[in-house]
Structures are given as structure tokens and as C-alpha cells.
Structure 1
Amino acid sequence: MYLKSTLLFAVFFSCFSVFSQTVYPKITGYFGIMHPIVTFSSEETTVNFRDYYAVGFPTGINIWKSEKIGFSLEFVPNIKDDNGTDKVTNLLFHPGVLVALGKGYTFAGRAAFETSGRYGFTPVLNKTIIKNKTCSYYAAVPLPVRFGNNHPATFTIGFQFGIAF
């Protein structure tokens, strides 16, 4: 009986101490909403909210190796409403490296692979706006660059906000 009580106490105490301090690797998840604002190519410039409405829902897992560097695995389903017709237009696979810059800022350098046949990269500057014990709220500026699928290269400026937990 004494051994069982001691083991139970040890397990409880070790679990409690793990949750009270940051241990690496540290795993976090997040969900957001991303609005592309304007997209530039050699053929045209398109503006979201004027020419059409497009929105993405970035969902991912971050694995922090240390306080400064981590890996992120993100999936982004994209929906577009054009002239009253809406549909899922693309699913983006978006792995990348995270670099904590300090003062709540993080840089994410992501590779991009889209089911539409496009590929490229996305630098993202992220800022934690509100942080508490159970979650944090963030805003980000993604800058997607895409190539392929017989379309000209594009550069987009976007705005993203979401919750991390």
C-alpha cells in the first residue's frame, strides 16, 4: 500500500512539475483566418474584397526545439466566392521553420505545396498580441510567392489572425 501511494504521489508530482515549467521540445497548436489582400503578377493585380472574396483557414502544429527555433506543420484549406459561386479552391501543405525574434515576434519560413498545382514559399511575420496561461492571440503578415501550373509567378500580401494554444 505504501509503495502504491508513493508511486501515485510521484507520478502526480512529476506531471504537475512538467506543466508548471517550459520543457523542450514544446508542442503548440493554432487555428487562424487568413485574408489575402492583394495579389500581383506580370499579367494583373487582383484585390480581395473587390474582385472576389477569398479566405484561408490555417491550422497547424508547432514543435519548438528550443526557446528560439522550431518546426511548424500547417494545412490551409482555401475558399473563394466569385460572382456568387463559392467553393474550396485549394488545400495548401505548408511546412516550415520557426525563429523566435523576441518581444512576441516570430518569423516563419514556409515551403508551399498547393493541390491546385502551384508551389513556392511563404515568409510570415507573426506577433503575439494577447498571451495568457491557456492560449494566446496573434496577428501575422504572410507574403506568399507562388509558381507553376502554367500561370505567371505571383506575390501576395495577406493578413492573418488567430488563436494559439
Structure 2
Amino acid sequence: MSLKYSLLLLAVITSPVLFSQTVYPKITGYFGIMHPVFTFSEHETNVNFRDYYAVGFPTGINIWKSEKIGFSFEIVPNIKDDQGTDKVTNLLFHPGVLVALGNGYTFAGRAAFETSGRYGVTPVFNKTIIKNKTCSYYAAVPLPVRFGNDHPASFTIGFQFGIAF
């Protein structure tokens, strides 16, 4: 066998496509629905679905540098319906670091910059529930902490689910 055919055979055998190995950097996108369930501050505790209805639509891109670490950029428009009046209340810019924890779990440590004037951090714990060849479905628990804009500091517990592709 000539050197040319040997090299071609070696290239085919070691091809990541044939063995389903992931090539890095790996880029994925996602879309979700996020419900803030409880929000606690110095002055009050608000409960979504009881006091009002609020929903966010996180949309983002993940750039995985390796199997364990990546960068994510997310934009989240938020809508609130309060006493029959609904409107977009905020747009959240949400860059962060991704850390794969194994078994489908991921931690996202995000900085938060809101058009409402608030800022803070959002740790997110994410779990891939169903994984297919073309997409996966996930559930997440975001824990936003916010400051600024003449409001007391707040802490929220949320629930998010969505699709990644």
C-alpha cells in the first residue's frame, strides 16, 4: 500500500465524525422559558402566579472551549402582567462562564446587566433531561441576585426549561 493511501486510511479512521468525538471549540445555541417563582428583598416577598405573572425568554449562545469549560452569552427579554396590564419590563444582558459538572449537569456563573438599571449575578444550575442527535431539552434553576436603581437588594428563585441545539 502506498504512503498516500495509508495516510488517507489513517485520516478516515481517526476522523472525529466517524467516532462522534466532539471537536472544540463547540458552539451551541438555546432558547428557554424562565419563571421567577419567589423574589425576596428587605421590604417584601413576591410570589409569581399569585401577585402577578412574570416570564423571561432566555436566548443564548454557548462556546465550549473544552469538554469542561465554556463561555455563554444570553439575552433575556422579560414580560410582566400585573393587574391586567402587560408589557416588556426589562432586557437582561447575561454573559457568563460554563462549567460542566458531569452526568448532564452544568453550572453557569453569570454577570447580570438589566436595562431597568439593576445589576448583579446569577448562578444557574442546569440539567440536560433528554439528549438527541440534533437537540437536547434541559431544566434549570436560576438564582438571580440584584442590586441598584434605588431598590433594595433582591434574591430570586426561578425555574427554567428549554431546548438547546
Match of 2:129 in 1: 129
Alignment length, in residue pairs?
A: 151
Scaled by the length of structure 1, the TM-score of the pair is 0.89
Provide the rounded CA distance (Å) in 1 between the counterparts of 2:28 and 2:147: 30
Partner of 1:77, secondary structure, is strand
- Deviation of 1:154 (Å): 0.2
The percent identity for this pair of structures is 89
Task: Tell me what 1:80 maps to.
Answer: 80
Runs of 4 or more consecutive aligned structure 1 residues displaced over 6 Å after TM superposition = none
- Paired position in structure 2 for 1:90: 90
The aligned counterpart of 1:37 is 37
- Structure 1 distance, partners of 2:16, 2:100, is 25
RMSD: 1.3
> Which segments of 5 or more consecutive residues in structure 2 lack a partner in the other structure?
1-11
Structure 1 residue matching 2:36: 3-state secondary structure: strand
Structure 2: distance between partners of 1:96 and 1:31 = 16
After TM superposition, the structure 1 = structure 2 runs for residues 10-159 of structure 1, keeping only pairs within 5 Å, are: 18=17, 20-159=20-159
Q: Deviations over 1:98-125 (max 9, x none)?
A: 0000000000000000000000000000
Length-normalised TM-score, structure 2: 0.89
Classify the secondary structure of the residue corresponding to 1:101: strand
1:21 Cα offset (Å): 3.0
